Chains A and B, each alone.
Chain A
Amino acid sequence: MGLPELLAVLLVVAVCALLMVGYPVAFTLGGAALAIAVLGDAVGAMRFSLLGALPPRVFGVMTNEVLLAIPLFVLMGVMLERSRIAEDLLEAMGRLFGTLTGGLAISVTLVGVLLAAAKGVVGATVVTMGLITLPAMIRHGYNPRLAAGTVAATATLAQIMPPATVLVLLGDQLNIAYQAAQLAQGKFAPDQVSVSDLFAGAIVPALTLVALYLAFQIAVAVLRPAACPAIPPAADAIGGAALARRLIEVLVAPVGLIVVVLGSILGGLATPTEAAGVGAFGAILLTARKVAAKKSAPALGAAVAVIAVLVLRAFVDLRVGRAGGGVATTAAIALAVVLLGVAAYGTVAAVVAIGRAGVLAPVLATTTNVTAMIFAILIGATMFSLVFRGLGGDDMVQHALANLPGGTGGAILTVMIAMFLLGFVMDAFEIIFVVVPIVAPALLTMPGVDPIWLGVMMAVNLQTSYLHPPLGPTLFYLRGVAPPQIKTLDIYVGVIPFVLIQFALLAALWFWPGLASALPHALAGH
C-alpha cells in the first residue's frame, strides 16, 4: 500500500471517527476531506488543484434532473401529514377491523403502508405513527411488545415502498455507477438503470413484507388472542352503508393519489419527477379541502377541471399544430384551455386557503429544510469522493472486492454486511452518497450482477438495519414518542419477529433475484 492509499484509508477512518462526534454530516464529510487533501498535497500524494473540479461537480448536482423529484415528493408527504389524513385513515380502519381480534394491529399496518408510500422519510413516519397509534393500542389492552414492533416495522416501510426518497437517490447513484462500470468494460453505448426501474423492482418485495407482517399478526391473534384483544364497538358505532361511505371518503383521495403517481411512473407514462410534481399538486388540493372545509369549492373545481381535460384528451387528439384538425378539434382545444384556466384559478384559491389556515408556511419550511439537508450531504459527499478518488481509493476498494474469497457472491455479501453495520449510525442518505459510489462500480463490473436487484437488496438491507436492535435508528425515534407504559426493552423484543421477517425476505431475494428484477424487466419488455 503506497502513501496515497494510506491517506485514503486515513480519510475513511477520520470521517467515521468525526461523524461519531455529532457535527452535521454534510460538513463533517467536506471538512475532513479537505484536511486530508491539504495533507496529501503537502506529502505529494495528490495535488490540491484537483479541488478545482469541485464547482463543476456541485453544478452537476444542481442541474441533475432526476433529483428534482426529491423536493416534490417531500412536499407531497409533508403536505399530506399536515392535512391529518393519517388520523382519519386510522379511525376509519379501526372501525372496520377493530372489533376483530388483532384487528387494530392490522389497521395500523395497512395505514402505515399508505403513509409510507405517501411520505417516504422514515423518521417522520415513525413519529407520526407512534404518536397516533401506540396510545390507541395500549389503551385497548394490546401487548406493548406487539404494539411497538408493529409500529416500528411498518414505519420503516417508508424506506422501500415506492416512491421512497431513498429509492430516488439510490437509483440516481446506481445509474452513475452502472454507466462507469460499463464504460470500464469497454461498452460505449451503456445501458441505463432508472429510478422507475428501481421503483418497479421494490414493489414486489415491499408488498411481500407487508403480507408477511400481516400473516404474523394474524398468527398472534389466533395463537395468543389476549395479546391483541378485540375492541368493543364504539358508542357512536356506524355500520353497513354509513361505514362504507366514511371509508370511501377517507380512502379514495390518498389511495387515488398514490395510484396515479406510482401507476404513471410504472406504466412509463411519466418520469418520477413529473409524477412527483403531479403528486405534490394533488396533495395541495387535498389539503385545501381538509383545512378549509368551508371553502373547498376551488380545490374541488381545480381537481374536476384537470380530470375533465384528461378525459377530453382520451377522446380527442388535442395536440396543437397537428395537420388535419377540423373545427371540432379547435373547439376541443379551446375547451381544454378554458378548463385549465378554471383549474389554475382553483389552485391559486386553494393555495391561498391553505395559507390562511396557517398550514402553508410551515409545510414549505419543513420541506425546504429536508431538501437542503439532503443536498448538503450530497455536496459534502461530492468533496469526499473527489479526494478519495484523487488518492486512488476507489481502485483500492475495487481490487479488494475483486480478490475476496467467494467471488461475486462474497463481494456482495461483504458490501451488504458493511452497509448493514453502517446503517446503525448513519442515515440511508449518507450511505447512499458515500458508500454506493465507491462500491457499486466494482460490484456492477462483476458478471451477472443486475443493478436493479442490487439496488433493491441495498434498500431492504438498509431498512433491516434501521429496525435492528439495539442500534436501529427507528427504535430511538420510537422511544422518543412512546407512552410511558412501553419500556425500551418492549420495543427491542417487539421488533424481533419483524426483523426475522426482514432477514427472511433478504434471503429470499438472494436466492430468487427474480423477486426484485422480474417486474421491471417485464415492464421494460413492452
Chain B
Amino acid sequence: MPSARLAAVAALIERLVATIGRSVMWCLLAMVALQVTVVLMRYVFGLGSIWLSEAIVYAHGTLFMSAAAWTLQQGAHVRVDVFYADASPRVRALIDLAGAVFLLLPFVIVLAWVSIPYVARSWAILERSPEASGLPLVFLLKTMIPAFAVLLCLQGIAQAIRALLVLAGRAPGEAGH
C-alpha cells in the first residue's frame, strides 16, 4: 500500500530530524558554561580567550541551524493565526502541503544550491578564524548553512507527506505536522 510506504518515509525523516534536534539542544548548556567561564576569566583574572568566545558562537550557530527542522516538526515556527487557528484539519493540511511545496522547499533548495560554492571555497582552504588565536574551523561552521537547508528540505517532505495522508483520509489531522 503506497500510503503506508509514504508514512514510513515520513516517520524515518522525522526520527532523523528529531534525533539531531534533541542532540544539539545540549549546546545551550555549553553556551552557558562557556559564557560564564569567559565572564569570570575576564572579570576576575583579567584573562581573555578568543578561542572560548568563538566556541560560544559555534555552539549557538550549530544549535539553531540544526534545530530549525525539528522546530518545524514540533509546530513551533510562528504562524499568522488569524485564519489557520480556526481552520479544519483538512484545510490546515492543504495549507501545509501548499506551503511546503511552493514556499519552503524552493527556498531551502535554492539556499542549499547557492551555498555550495560558498562553502566549497571555505573547505578548499580549510578556512580558519580571522583571529590568529581563534578556532580553525570556520569551514565547518559555514557547512551548517547547507545542513540547515537539507534538514529543512527533508522535514518539508515529511510535512508534505503527512498533509497528503490527511487529505487522502489516511491519517487524523494534527496541527504542526
- Indicate whether A448 reaches chain B with its CB closer than 8 angstroms: no
Contacts of B77 in A (CB 8 A): 24-27, 372-373, 376
6 closest cross-chain pairs (CB), A and B: A277-B35, A22-B84, A31-B103, A23-B99, A319-B46, A24-B77
Least Cβ–Cβ distance between B36 and chain A, in angstroms: 5
Inter-chain contact B31/A51, CB cutoff 8 Å:
no
Q: How far is the CA of A127 from the CA of B65 in the complex (A)?
A: 28
* Band of interface residues on B: 35 or more
Contacts of B82 in A (CB 8 A): 20, 22, 425
Q: How far is the CA of A26 from the CA of B96 in the complex (A)?
A: 14
Contacts of A27 in B (CB 8 A): 77, 99, 103-104, 107-108, 152
Most chain A beta-carbon neighbours within 10 Å: one of B22, B28, B29, B142: B28
Query: Hey, what's the 0/1 contact readout for B18-29 against A, CB within 8 Å counting as 1?
Result: 000110111011
Least Cβ–Cβ distance between A301 and chain B, in angstroms: 16
A-contacting residues, B9-42, CB 8 Å = 21-22, 24-26, 28-29, 31-36, 38-40
Inter-chain contact B35/A375, CB cutoff 8 Å:
no
28 sample A-B contacts, Cβ–Cβ < 8 Å, listed by A number: A25-B77, A25-B78, A27-B104, A27-B152, A30-B108, A51-B110, A55-B145, A62-B65, A67-B60, A71-B64, A277-B34, A306-B40, A310-B44, A319-B45, A320-B47, A321-B46, A336-B44, A364-B28, A365-B21, A368-B24, A369-B74, A371-B64, A372-B63, A375-B64, A375-B68, A376-B64, A376-B68, A426-B80
Q: How far is the CA of A403 from the CA of B68 in the complex (A)?
A: 41
Least Cβ–Cβ distance between A278 and chain B, in angstroms: 6
Q: How far is the CA of A347 from the CA of B119 in the complex (A)?
A: 38
Contacts of A269 in B (CB 8 A): 43
Since A372-B68, A372-B76 are in contact, a sample of 9 more A-B pairs with Cβ atoms closer than 8 Å, ordered by chain A residue number, is A20-B80, A26-B77, A33-B107, A58-B111, A58-B115, A58-B148, A281-B36, A321-B46, A372-B70
Inter-chain contact B71/A376, CB cutoff 8 Å:
yes
Total A-B Cβ pairs within 8 A = 228
Inter-chain contact A277/B32, CB cutoff 8 Å:
yes
Contacts of B51 in A (CB 8 A): none
Q: How far is the CA of A27 from the CA of B40 in the complex (A)?
A: 40
> Closest residue of chain A to B34, judged by CB?
A277
Q: How far is the CA of A24 from the CA of B67 in the complex (A)?
A: 15
Q: How far is the CA of A367 from the CA of B76 in the complex (A)?
A: 11
Interface residues of A (CB under 8 A from B): 18-28, 30-35, 51-52, 54-56, 58-59, 62-63, 65, 67-68, 71-72, 75, 269-270, 273-274, 276-278, 280-281, 284, 306, 309-310, 313, 318-322, 333, 336, 340, 347, 351, 361, 364-365, 367-377, 379-380, 383, 425-427, 429-430, 473, 476
Contacts of A32 in B (CB 8 A): 103
Inter-chain contact A21/B63, CB cutoff 8 Å:
no
Contacts of B173 in A (CB 8 A): none
Q: How far is the CA of A499 from the CA of B42 in the complex (A)?
A: 45
Contacts of B114 in A (CB 8 A): 51-52, 54-55
Inter-chain contact B83/A21, CB cutoff 8 Å:
yes
Inter-chain contact B67/A63, CB cutoff 8 Å:
no
Choose among A19, A21, A364, A379 the residue that contacts B29 (Cβ–Cβ < 8 A).
Answer: A364
Q: How far is the CA of A10 from the CA of B25 in the complex (A)?
A: 39
A-contacting residues, B79-108, CB 8 Å = 79-85, 87, 92, 95-96, 98-100, 102-104, 106-108
Inter-chain contact A68/B107, CB cutoff 8 Å:
no
Choose among B57, B67, B72, B110 the residue that contacts A68 (Cβ–Cβ < 8 A).
Answer: B57
Least Cβ–Cβ distance between B121 and chain A, in angstroms: 10
Inter-chain contact B31/A23, CB cutoff 8 Å:
no
Interface residues of B (CB under 8 A from A): 21-22, 24-26, 28-29, 31-36, 38-40, 43-47, 53, 56-57, 60-61, 63-65, 67-68, 70-72, 74, 76-85, 87, 92, 95-96, 98-100, 102-104, 106-108, 110-111, 114-115, 117-119, 141-142, 144-145, 148, 152
Choose among B38, B60, B106, B115 the residue that contacts A34 (Cβ–Cβ < 8 A).
Answer: B106
Q: How far is the CA of A322 from the CA of B78 in the complex (A)?
A: 51
Least Cβ–Cβ distance between A239 and chain B, in angstroms: 40
Inter-chain contact A373/B71, CB cutoff 8 Å:
yes
Q: How far is the CA of A65 from the CA of B107 in the complex (A)?
A: 26
Least Cβ–Cβ distance between B60 and chain A, in angstroms: 5
Contacts of A71 in B (CB 8 A): 28, 31, 60, 63-64
Choose among B29, B80, B106 the residue that contacts A425 (Cβ–Cβ < 8 A).
Answer: B80
Contacts of A58 in B (CB 8 A): 111, 115, 145, 148
Inter-chain contact B28/A274, CB cutoff 8 Å:
no
> Closest residue of chain B to A480, judged by CB?
B85
Contacts of B118 in A (CB 8 A): 52, 55-56
Most chain B beta-carbon neighbours within 10 Å: one of A28, A276, A427, A430: A28
Given contacts A30-B103, A34-B107, contact A72 B32 (CB under 8 A): yes
Least Cβ–Cβ distance between A55 and chain B, in angstroms: 4
Given contacts A55-B115, A59-B145, A368-B24, contact A21 B40 (CB under 8 A): no
Choose among B22, B67, B74, B142 the residue that contacts A371 (Cβ–Cβ < 8 A).
Answer: B67
Least Cβ–Cβ distance between A261 and chain B, in angstroms: 12
Inter-chain contact A351/B45, CB cutoff 8 Å:
no
Inter-chain contact A19/B45, CB cutoff 8 Å:
no
Given contacts A51-B114, A313-B43, A368-B28, contact A476 B21 (CB under 8 A): no
Inter-chain contact B144/A62, CB cutoff 8 Å:
yes
Q: How far is the CA of A426 from the CA of B76 in the complex (A)?
A: 15
Q: How far is the CA of A340 from the CA of B45 in the complex (A)?
A: 12
Given contacts A23-B79, A24-B99, A351-B29, contact A63 B57 (CB under 8 A): yes
Most chain B beta-carbon neighbours within 10 Å: one of A310, A333, A372, A425: A372
Choose among A309, A320, A427 the residue that contacts B46 (Cβ–Cβ < 8 A).
Answer: A320
Contacts of B46 in A (CB 8 A): 318-322
Contacts of B32 in A (CB 8 A): 72, 75, 277, 280-281, 284
